[in-house]
Amino acid sequence: MQPFNFFLHSSLLVLVLFMSTKADNQVKQIKHAGSKTIIVDQSGHGDFTKIQNAIDFIPSNNQVWTLVRVKAGTYNEQVNIPRDKPRILLQGESSRSTIIQFGYGGDSIKSSTFSLFAEDFVAMDITFKNTYNLEPGKPTTWAPAALINADKASFYRCGFVSVQDTLTDSRGRHYFENCYIEGAVDFIWGNGRSMYQGCMINVTVSGGQAGYITAQARETAADNSGFVFKNCSIFGTGPAYLGRAYRPYARVLFHGTKMSDVIVPEGWSAWNYVGKENTIVYAEVDCEGPGADKYKRVSWEKNLSPEDLRYLLNPDTFINQEAWIQRQPKA
């Protein structure tokens, strides 16, 4: 994505309020036959003090689930899970108290605080944060909090915090439930095939220039990728578009979502594909709130057929083939 220069007003208070749920009050107990557990604790009372050291310790191509339990704390490190480390469950004590952060910007891939390349992954109760654009005087540029470049990844009660390109939803099937996502520019972007269920989306634009929540990158009509947001909530400082087309067949659906007045009346931007909007699939169904008023929406926003709507809204048809979500360990 291209850099977009304006300064972020941090919304840590909103993050704290949202993440303060009953799920945060206890460490989740994960039970899975044959599983292993590794403890990461900054105080030295676990197996490792660094998360990356715990990941490196896991054998390549392991056949059983490994629980990496991360004790509360702020872990200042980049974490990379390579392709040969599948079946990892990364769990913090809560998304308020367990934070992985790093301050690296300028590259939409290499700058990511957390990078996932291995299939079959679960994260719970943890926040991924890139502090680069949050530092005073730093120009806004690519600074992902997380890069998800693998199939069958799910995230429960997690936080993703940055300004530009916060969540690189790059490739594969992904499920996000009750997560918090904060940013200003293209902060949910990529060619993932993903469902966001009950997530909080905080738009932290400042300076008057509009931001963009999504920048989906579907390449062709046969490409099965897309972002589906179900029963989510959008709020913040705004103003912002729901999305701009990063590729010519970009596909995004908001369903049953509460939208504050941070959403601009037009709703969507064709960006580099002005005049080719017929291939872009942007839709809103049963949304509410002042930002959901479609009276001044772009004329090329799509009205999905009942068949297309059922396909996109049903996890089993859109992302959950082989029932991989049910087979993963969870709280």
DSSP string for residues in 21-56: SGGGGSPPP---TT-EEEEE-TTS-SSBSSHHHHHH
- Annotation says 84 is catalytic: no
Q: What is the pLDDT of residue 139?
A: 84
Give yes or no for residue 29 having a pLDDT over 60.
no
What spatial distance separates the first Cα and last Cα of the chain, rounded to whole Å? 35
pLDDT tens figures, 102-117: 999 999 999 999 999 9
Q: What is the pLDDT of residue 12?
A: 38
Q: What is the mean pLDDT of residues 87-103?
A: 98
Catalytic residue among 186, 223, 286, 308: 186
Counting beta carbons within 10 angstroms of the beta carbon of residue 274, is it exposed (0 to 12), middle (13 to 18) or buried (19 or more)? Answer: exposed
Q: What is the layout of strands, in order, in the sheet containing 167-171?
A: 79-81, 114-116, 146-149, 167-171, 185-190, 211-216, 240-244, 268-269
Give yes or no for residue 163 having a pLDDT over 50.
yes
- Annotation says 125 is catalytic: no
Looking at residue 269, the DSSP 8-state letter turns out to be: E
Give yes or no for residue 13 having a pLDDT over 80.
no
Cα atoms in the Cβ-side hemisphere of radius 13 Å centred on 90: 29
Q: What is the mean pLDDT of residues 241-259?
A: 98
Q: Other C-beta atoms within 10 Å of 233: how many?
A: 16
Q: What is the pLDDT of residue 138?
A: 83
Q: What is the pLDDT of residue 1?
A: 58
Catalytic residue among 165, 169, 293, 308: 165
pLDDT tens figures, 127-150: 999 999 988 888 889 999 999 999
| Contact (CB, 8 A) for 18 and 178 | no
- Containing 130, the helix (H) or strand (E) segment is strand 127-130
Q: Where are the domains of the chain?
A: 12-28+125-320
> How many angstroms separate the CA atoms of 30 and 85, rounded?
19
pLDDT tens figures, 257-286: 999 999 999 999 999 999 999 999 999 999
Looking at residue 237, the DSSP 8-state letter turns out to be: S
Confidence of residue 9 (pLDDT cuts 50, 70, 90): very low
* Geometric angle at alpha carbon 315, from 318 and 289, rounded to 5°: 100
pLDDT tens figures, 211-239: 999 999 999 999 999 999 999 999 999 89
Give yes or no for residue 20 having a pLDDT over 60.
no
Both tokens of 131, joined, read: 């502090």
pLDDT tens figures, 287-325: 999 999 999 999 999 999 999 999 999 999 999 999 999
> How many angstroms separate the CA atoms of 37 and 71, rounded?
13
> How many angstroms separate the CA atoms of 98 and 296, rounded?
42
Superfamily of domain 12-28+125-320: Single-stranded right-handed beta-helix, Pectin lyase-like (2.160.20.10)
pLDDT tens figures, 39-79: 999 999 999 999 999 999 999 999 999 999 999 999 999 99
Query: How many percent of the chain have pLDDT more than 90?
Result: 85
The residue among 31 and 226 whose pLDDT is bigger is 226
| Ordered alpha helix ranges (H), the chain | 12-19, 51-57, 306-313, 315-318, 324-327
72: left (phi over 0), alpha (psi -120 to 50) or beta: beta
Q: What is the pLDDT of residue 11?
A: 42
